[in-house]
A and B are shown apart, each in its own frame.
Chain A
Amino acid sequence: MKSDNKLRNSSIGQTNAQPLLEVEDLHVSFDVRGGEVQAVRGVNMVINKGEVVGIVGESGCGKSVTAQTLMRLIPSPPSRVKKGSIRFAGEDVLKKSEKEMQQLRGGRMGMIFQDPMTSLNPTMTVGRQITENLIRHRNMSMKEAHKRGVEMLNLVGIPLAETRMKQYPHEFSGGMRQRVMIAIALACDPELLIADEPTTALDVTIQAQILEVMKELRNRLNTSIMLITHDLGIVADVCDKVIVMYAGQVAETGTVHEIFNNPKHPYTQGLLESIPRLDDDKSQPLVPIPGTPPDLIKPPTGCAFAARCKYTMDICTRVDPGLFECSSTQSARCWLNHEMAKEVHA
């Protein structure tokens, strides 16, 4: 197991892992007509330098809200950070002024959005959209920025970069546009890249190409990546650490091997059982997770997953379990990990 982790070029195995991003007890709510939607309810996470961390969970579990709060991209109101702290390279992100944030965004923090069709400006050439960033954050001249832009397009695998710089987004295919997005996000060598479902809108063959690009970037530039996805296959492919979110909380976190080989939370187990695998025998029926996620205007007392869980005990509906430490790197928000709970065979 240990040697495996090292193979994956992770900083987990190293003792001198430096935390780049530390999120502590983050609570984010949205004030809507029906009440207060508690989208994020006490999230803790650490991303070290050079680490790829996958965040998985169903729609509405708070993964995108967490990511956008990290970059302070969610307008307030309606959103509001109720509690908690976000430290990026030792500095408190939540205390920064909007001007300081603008320095951070696109400079030291880059973001790739889900939809490559709508996140580029259709009225500007691709070249201008890349160089804009460099001129602003790196004080480059037009000429230097152009040179760097061409370099970036080459890096993400866009052929004929010189010509492509002069073209508009509509002249690019979906996969190519997502590459442009990655090139823009990476132009200033960000220390942290937040990728929110970067391949969801793409076909599998193009997805494979984009994932290769991201892996190479991590290996070459030691960029930390926060990868939000609902595809467990992608997580297994590129991530070192995994954070499973459910109903605005961290349900389980651990190394990719721990999460896939030895999940400790019934929700993680359920997610893994509910997907058919290409290398599986299809005679086994799929095991869906019954029911739907809870309403976050009135989050349930006790464990948020209790209503859908097949192991629910008395205590689950009454008291929130909190995160149990299962190993130095794995923890799960489930009472089954309490020493008094009987061993459960999934």
Chain B
Amino acid sequence: MSSSLNKNKPLIEVNNLSKLFRVGKGRTLKAVNDVSFFIREGETLGMVGESGCGKSTVGRTLLRLYEPSGGEVKFEGKDIYKLSPSEMKAIRRDMQMIFQDPYASLNPRLTVNDIIGEALDIHNLAKNRTERKARVAELLQLVGLNAEHANRYPHEFSGGQRQRIGIARALAVNPKFIVCDEPISALDVSIQAQVVNLLKELQRKMGLTYLFIAHDLSMVKYISDRVAVMYLGKLVELAESETLYDEPLHPYTRALLSAVPIPDPDSETQKRRIVIKGDLPSAIDPPSGCPFRTRCPLAKEVCAKEMPPLIEHRPGHYAACHFAGEPLPSQEGIVSAG
């Protein structure tokens, strides 16, 4: 098991990472804006936020699928953005990704054997065809699929099975770190639990480290050791998952958590929900100061002037808010559909 892992040693260190996209007319979109965090070996870091908050961009920039606009990412102490293409290729064996859409992320014209085998070919991990076939069969069994299905095409599988193929492909090169970008959001409820249990089991068996990106907060809480909350390209809160869900400090985290409907009619009737106003502002022209101030019930003058830094309020619990932890006004004050 994970006894050989040092849970306190960071496997990945992200320092002041930024990613800008040019969107024409000289404008830029700050998808990720000066974000710093680390991921320990063998842990699962959950990353949540609304669509467009930059969580997928963080995942992709971490793997150098995007070149960063600033900052550094250290993998086992090495800054991956300084590596040469051949060094990068070697390190890619250690860093893999599982994609959101199991329908779009598998090549429909390749058999499962070739989809998984391709990874082995690129990194020369199989000496000959027999070895390649054996390894693919082993991987399919590992993710709970029948090894005899290796000659089938993706369309012959259900969504949950396809996601298992995606997982097998990521595991083919024996990675240490996997970015799971919304791996279950396209799946049915009863199948989601199957895939999440598989990911947890693989982590236990192989000592994997995950960055688990999702918008389903209850699933993120379930799978993650620590959770990071993003808003408009900024990291606004980071804490152990139990702490984050029990005592969130940032008003955005609190609103986000209270917006999740709980599958219990009795708790729901009694629950006082914080409904925040309005939509996510545009990341091309973000608000001055704190990005959340336009929707925040606590916003005061200072919020428009200064971006609050990410401060460690309690050991291991970081939040970026001038009024972190202050009580929110009663629901009547801020409930509004518009």
Contacts and interface: CB of A to CB of B under 8 A. Distances in A.
Interface of A: 4, 7-8, 58-59, 156-159, 173-176, 203-209, 211-213, 216, 230-237, 256-257, 260-261, 270-272, 274-280, 282, 285-290, 292
Interface string B167-207: 00000000000000000000011111110110000000000
B74 interface: no
B279 A173 contact: yes
B190 A58 contact: yes
A250 B280 CA distance: 39
A292 B276 contact: no
Q: Which 10 A-B residue pairings sit nearest by Cβ, starting from the closest?
A: A157-B337, A233-B261, A288-B193, A157-B338, A276-B222, A289-B190, A232-B263, A208-B259, A203-B50, A274-B193
B91 interface: no
B148 interface: no
Contacts of B194: 288, 290
Given A203-B50, A204-B259, A278-B218, A257 B265 contact: yes
A288 B190 contact: yes
Given A209-B275, A209-B337, A285-B197, A271 B264 contact: no
B153 interface: no
Interface in B236-275: 241-242, 245, 255-269, 273, 275
Nearest to B51: A203
A93 B207 CA distance: 59
B29 interface: no
Contacts of A274: 189-190, 192-193
Nearest to A59: B188
B51 A278 contact: no
A277 B188 contact: no
A251 B259 CA distance: 29
A278 to B, nearest CB: 5
Nearest to B241: A282
Contacts of A158: 338
A288 B265 contact: no
A286 B197 CA distance: 7
A310 to B, nearest CB: 13
B246 to A, nearest CB: 10
Contacts of B135: none
Contacts of A207: 259, 261
B215 A288 contact: no
A204 B260 contact: yes
Contacts of A279: 262, 264, 267
B189 A212 contact: no
B263 A235 contact: yes
Nearest to A257: B265
Contact of A278 (B158, B196, B245): B245
B193 A4 contact: no
9 contacts: A174-B51, A204-B259, A208-B259, A232-B263, A236-B261, A278-B218, A278-B245, A285-B197, A286-B222
B122 interface: no
Contact of B190 (A7, A156, A159, A270): A270
B234 interface: no
Given A204-B217, A207-B259, A274-B189, A212 B337 contact: yes
B288 interface: no
B326 to A, nearest CB: 20
Contacts of A275: 189, 192-193, 218, 263
B286 to A, nearest CB: 15
Contact of A212 (B190, B221, B262, B335): B335
B263 A288 contact: no
Nearest to A211: B261
B16 interface: no
Contact of A233 (B193, B255, B262, B266): B262
B268 A236 contact: yes
B160 A292 contact: yes
Contacts of B2: none
A277 B266 CA distance: 14
Contact of B218 (A206, A230, A277): A277
B262 A277 contact: yes
A341 B196 CA distance: 34
B261 A234 contact: yes
B256 A205 contact: yes
B275 A212 contact: yes
Contacts of B50: 203-206
Contacts of A256: 265
B335 to A, nearest CB: 7
Interface in B289-338: 335-338
Nearest to B336: A157
A14 B190 CA distance: 35
Given A205-B276, A260-B263, A8 B255 contact: no
Contacts of B275: 205, 208-209, 212
Contacts of A216: 337
